[in-house]
Amino acid sequence: MLSGCAGSKPQVLVKEKILPSWYTNPPLSNEQELYVLGEGKDKKEAIAEALSLMASTLSVSISSNYNAKTEVREGSVNSSDGVYKSDITSKVQEIRISSYDVLYAASLGFKRYTVLITSKKTKLFKSMVRELDQKFALIQSERKSLAGANALDKLFFYRKQKKSLQNLPNTLIVMNSLKPAFEGDEYIRKTQEIGFAYQEIIQNISFSIDSNALASNLKAPLAKGISERRLKMKQANSPEHFSVYVTSSIEKAQAYGFWLARSEVTIKTKDYKGVIVGSNTLQIIGQSSQSFAIAKQNVAFRLGILIEKEGISKVLGLDI
C-alpha cells in the first residue's frame, strides 16, 4: 500500500479555457457588413479559411436571390436554372476578396487559432471596381505596346487575356449583389473587344509547311496539329502568315531483327519578314520488322503521336 501511494502521480487539473463571446456568439451579417469566423493552425490559415467562407456566404446570398424568382425564357420555365445556380455558387468562391478587416483573433488551444473578419459591402464593392479598372488599364497599355508585334505574339496576348477574364461574369454578379444598382455593361464591352480581337487574329493568321526530301512525310502530322488549333493552312504573303520548314537526317540501323530509322528532325518557323520566331530539334526513331522504307514512314507516325501527347506548340517551339 505504501509503495503504491508513493508511486502515484499527482493529478493535473487543466483549467477550462473560456472562449471569447465573439466566438461563441458571433455577429450576424447584415445589409451593410459581412461577418465570418475562420479557424486554422495559425492566424494566416484562419484568415484564409474566413475569406473562403466569406466568398461562400456571397454565393449563398446570390443563390438565394435566384431562388426568390422563377426565370422564364422563351415562354417556358428554364429547366437548367438549378444547374445554373449551382455553377454560380462554385464560381463565386473563386473570387478574391481583398477588402476586409480582422476584428478579433485568439488561440483556442491545441494548436488551433480563430479570427473574426468583417468586410463592409460598400468598401468591398469599391475595391472590386478599383481592381477591375486597374486590370483593364493594364490590358489597354499592353495592347498599345503590341503595335509592332507579329501575329503570334498578339495571338498569345489575347488568349492570355481571355483566360484571365473568364471569371468576370461571376465577379459582376457579386458586385451587383453588393450594390443592386450596379450595371457592368462597360466591363462586358471591354471584354468583348478582347474576344473580337482574338477572333480576328484566328481568322487571318495562316501557316504553310515546306521540307527537304527526307522530311516530306512529316508535313502531314504537322499540318494536322496546326489545323486542330483552328489555324489555317495555306500559301500566303502577309504579315499574318508564317512559314514552317522541316528538315530531317536519317541513319539506317538494325537491332534485334528490326530496321531502325534514326532521325534528327529540325523545325524552324519564320514570319513574313523571314525572321525565325520558333525552332525545335527532335530525335525520333522509326522502326519496322519488314523494311527500312517502312521504318522511315514510322517516323511520321511517331511524330504524330508526339504532337498529340506534347501539343503542336511545344513541337514547333511556338505559343499558338
pLDDT at 310: 95
**Rounded mean pLDDT of 36-52?**
89
DSSP character at residue 122: H
Q: How many CA atoms lie within 13 A of 43 on its CB side?
A: 7
The share of the chain scoring above pLDDT 70, in percent, equals 83
Query: Per-residue b/e over 244-277, b at no fewer than 16 CB within 10 Å?
Result: bbbbbebeeeeeeeebbbbbebebbbbbeeeeeb
311 vs 197: CA distance, rounded Å: 24
DSSP character at residue 218: G
Contact 202, 155 (CB under 8 A): yes
Report residue 112 as a C-alpha cell. 488551433
Among 43-47, 62-66, 143-147, the least confident range = 62-66
Q: CA dihedral defined by 210, 216, 217, 222, rounded to 10 degrees?
A: -10
pLDDT at 320: 84
Helix (H) or strand (E) holding 130: helix 121-145
If we measure between CA atoms, which residue out of 130, 156, 129 comes closest to residue 143?
Answer: 156
pLDDT at 70: 36
pLDDT at 210: 97
What sign does the CA torsion over 303, 305, 308, 314 have? negative
- In angstroms, what is the C-alpha Rg of the chain? 31
151 vs 198: CA distance, rounded Å: 10
Contact 244, 222 (CB under 8 A): yes
Contact 248, 241 (CB under 8 A): no
Contact 295, 287 (CB under 8 A): yes
pLDDT at 52: 82
Contact 132, 125 (CB under 8 A): no
For 318, the 3-state DSSP assignment is coil
Report residue 110 as a C-alpha cell. 491545441
Among 42-51, 286-295, 307-316, the least confident range = 42-51
If we measure between CA atoms, which residue out of 52, 167, 140, 143 comes closest to residue 100?
Answer: 52
pLDDT tens-digit profile of 121-165?
A: 999 999 999 999 999 999 999 999 998 889 999 999 999 999 999
φ, ψ (nearest 5 deg) of residue 218? -90, -10
**Rounded mean pLDDT of 182-198?**
94
Q: How far is CA 157 from the centre of its chain?
A: 14
Task: Write down the mean pLDDT value for the chain.
Answer: 85
For 114, the 3-state DSSP assignment is strand
